A and B are shown apart, each in its own frame.
Chain A
Amino acid sequence: MDEVVSAAAGTACVPPGIAVRYRPATASGLWFELDETPGGRVSVALGHCADPALAARLRTEITPVLRETGDPVAALQPAANARGAAEPVAVCAVIERDSAELLYSSIGGIKAVVVTPGAPAAVLDPPTGRTATMRLAPAATVLLCIPGVVSLAHALLEQIAGLHPDRAAEHAIDALHCDPDAALAVLYRQPPAPMDLTVPAEPASLATVRSHLRHWLAMTGVDAESAADTLLAVGEAASNATEHSVLGAGHPVELTVRAVAAGTVLRFTVSDNGRWKPPPQSPGHRGHGIRLINALVDDADLITDDRGTTVEMSKGWRQ
């Protein structure tokens, strides 16, 4: 088996939330193109052809049309015209980030699948020359692959729905068996719904906060380094809240952590309804915490008033 090659999120050419894995056989004729406009329209084109020259030609003909028109059927016309020659297969998908709308079309009977946590998998199989459309739910996963999702077991698809996009694409490529041994999986993950967690402001709650946040971050598909940075920044803010806010509040103090994926920016709010008092033995400790937070995220603000303390943080998708 040839080596599996990854084009993971975090590399310059892969838009956020997308993972790609492929297994090249010699002169496999596999190809894929990814693109995102400044307006948040993600274009995905992929295909396979036993004739590598025809594969290369289809790639150069399909990609610019998809990018310019956003019309999968129009973009796939060259592949439709080439049917009968070397039986090319090709897939085009367009995802509008703002409206969460997916457009899908294919040549050669390649089906796509959309897996939404807690819902049955939806198989998209529009007739040639037609487009399937779907509104993606939060955290939905779109899987496009060659030789096609028909060879993937239902249990695997359910599993994929809960994994980081990179891990999910690895699972998919491992499960794709074909001859010759060339396979390609392109996976798109719609951002998850905002996380909104309220726990008692006490040290024992910190593990709960991190557990929820780790899962949420994995669902966004953010790279491992950014995920670790944000886990530490939010963990630090939450730790400060449990340590200092409880003093003198006179009522049960709660800690609320919110996380929102907005386009290519992740926003976090850590707030408590306590009254913060600096610990006398280590003056300026909170300053140390804020300095740490500032070094880890792109933007951080600390707001303290009579009702409590709020730390707002944001971190852009690393490119």
Chain B
Amino acid sequence: MTEQFGPARFTVTLASEGHPPVVAVSGDIDLANVAEFEEAMAGALDDSPALTVDLTDVSYCDSAAVRALFSLAATTELTMLVRPAGHIKTLLGISGLDRVATVITEE
């Protein structure tokens, strides 16, 4: 079997320390690692009023991540980068996260 069905490894990195800082996430985000995701975002934010989260390489996320992003959006100007099609865009639309944060679609 050559196809890989296992979850892509979760990584979260500070991609840019500019204004706003950019956090890039890849792999699956779920209840097991959402705390790590939240800590990375809080760490990147520092004192910045805004944060960009690049979700284009996220292979799975559910309402665990949505809750983390909602609570961030309550106090921060949040921008998310997502792919034009796929379940993350669906998730942001159904949850209403796209109404409290900026969503930019990227190829």
Residues of A within 8 A of B (CB): 159, 162-164, 167, 203-204, 206-207, 210-211, 214-215, 218, 225, 228-229, 231-232, 235-236, 239, 242-243, 282, 285, 288-289, 291-292, 295-296
Contact = CB atoms under 8 A, between A and B. Distances in A.
B67 A229 contact: no
B3 A218 contact: yes
Contacts of A289: 63
Contact of B60 (A162, A218, A235, A292): A235
B1 interface: yes
Contacts of B32: 203-204, 206-207
Interface of B: 1-3, 5-7, 28, 30-32, 60, 62-64, 67, 85-87, 90-91, 94-95
B5 A207 contact: no
Main secondary structure of the interface of B (DSSP, over half): loop
State the 5 A-B residue pairs at the shortest beta-carbon distance, nearest first.
A162-B1, A203-B32, A228-B87, A203-B31, A215-B5
A206 B30 contact: yes
Contacts of B85: 225
Given A218-B5, A232-B91, A288-B95, 6 more contacts: A163-B2, A203-B32, A206-B30, A235-B62, A243-B31, A292-B94
Contacts, number: 75
Contacts of B62: 232, 235-236, 239, 292
Main secondary structure of the interface of A (DSSP, over half): helix
B63 A292 contact: yes
B30 A235 contact: yes
B17 to A, nearest CB: 31
Nearest to A289: B63
Q: Which of B3, B60, B63 has the most CB of A within 10 A?
A: B63
A59 B6 CA distance: 43
A236 B6 contact: no
B98 to A, nearest CB: 14
Given A239-B63, A288-B95, A210 B28 contact: yes
Nearest to B1: A162
Contacts of B28: 207, 210
A229 B87 contact: yes
Nearest to A240: B63
A235 B94 CA distance: 16
Contacts of A210: 7, 28, 30, 60
Nearest to B31: A203
A229 B60 CA distance: 11
A239 B7 CA distance: 15
A285 B64 CA distance: 10
A266 B64 CA distance: 25
Contacts of A232: 60, 62, 87, 90-91
